[in-house]
């Protein structure tokens, strides 16, 4: 008998991969489809302030995709927790970006929070933050 928690965890991991794939492919339709279809959604890009609601969150992805030539993620330390119809993934993002012709390498920590709606794990919140130092500083 398969463990339903294991199956759910695999589904969340799949949604999390789809998020980074949409980001790498700069695919606004795929990115839009990954988020909950309501104004509760929230997003924090590294070093930025909080964005709330469909217009601001999806608008930020459109702006990022429009100014990014290429981006590649290597993910580390992925871990997933599930409680009922909520799941949160945390992972390290090792990021290679080509932005207006120049390559940048950076690292961020991401919290990606998913809610199960209509049998799909949809993004409710993405919070990414730059890593300036290990703790303790």
Rule CB under 8 A: which residues touch its own copies?
Answer: 40, 42, 44-52, 60, 63, 77, 79, 81, 83-86, 88, 90, 92, 109, 111, 113, 115, 124-125, 127-137
Q: Choose between 52 and 70: whose C-beta lies nearer to its own copies.
A: 52
Min separation Cβ 38 and its own copies, Å: 10
Residue of 23, 130, 14 lying closest to 72 (CA atoms) = 23
Q: Partners of 93 in the beta sheet?
A: 75, 108
Q: Choose between 33 and 92: whose C-beta lies nearer to its own copies.
A: 92
Min separation Cβ 82 and its own copies, Å: 10
Q: Choose between 17 and 42: whose C-beta lies nearer to its own copies.
A: 42
Q: How many residues does the chain have?
A: 137
Min separation Cβ 16 and its own copies, Å: 15
Q: Choose between 15 and 125: whose C-beta lies nearer to its own copies.
A: 125
Min separation Cβ 109 and its own copies, Å: 5
Min separation Cβ 47 and its own copies, Å: 4
Distance of CA 122 to the CA centre of its chain: 11
Residue of 124, 90, 117, 101 lying closest to 13 (CA atoms) = 90
Q: Choose between 1 and 134: whose C-beta lies nearer to its own copies.
A: 134
Q: How far apart are CA 86 and CA 132, in angstroms?
A: 29
Residue of 62, 55, 54, 56 lying closest to 36 (CA atoms) = 54
CA distance from start to end of the chain: 47
């Amino acid at each position: 008998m398969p463990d339903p928690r294991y199956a759910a965890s695999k589904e969340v991991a799949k949604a999390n991969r789809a998020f980074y794939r949409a980001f790498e492919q700069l695919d606004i339709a795929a990115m839009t489809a990954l988020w909950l279809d309501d104004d509760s959604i929230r997003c924090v890009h590294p070093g930025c302030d909080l964005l709330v609601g469909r217009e601001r969150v999806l608008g930020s992805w459109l702006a990022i995709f429009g100014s990014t030539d290429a981006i590649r993620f290597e993910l580390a330390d992925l871990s997933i927790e599930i409680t009922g119809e909520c799941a949160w993934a945390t992972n390290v993002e090792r990021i290679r970006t080509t932005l207006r012709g120049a390559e940048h390498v950076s690292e961020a920590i991401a919290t990606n929070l998913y809610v199960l709606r209509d049998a799909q794990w949809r993004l409710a919140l993405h919070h990414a933050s730059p890593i300036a130092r290990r703790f303790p500083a």
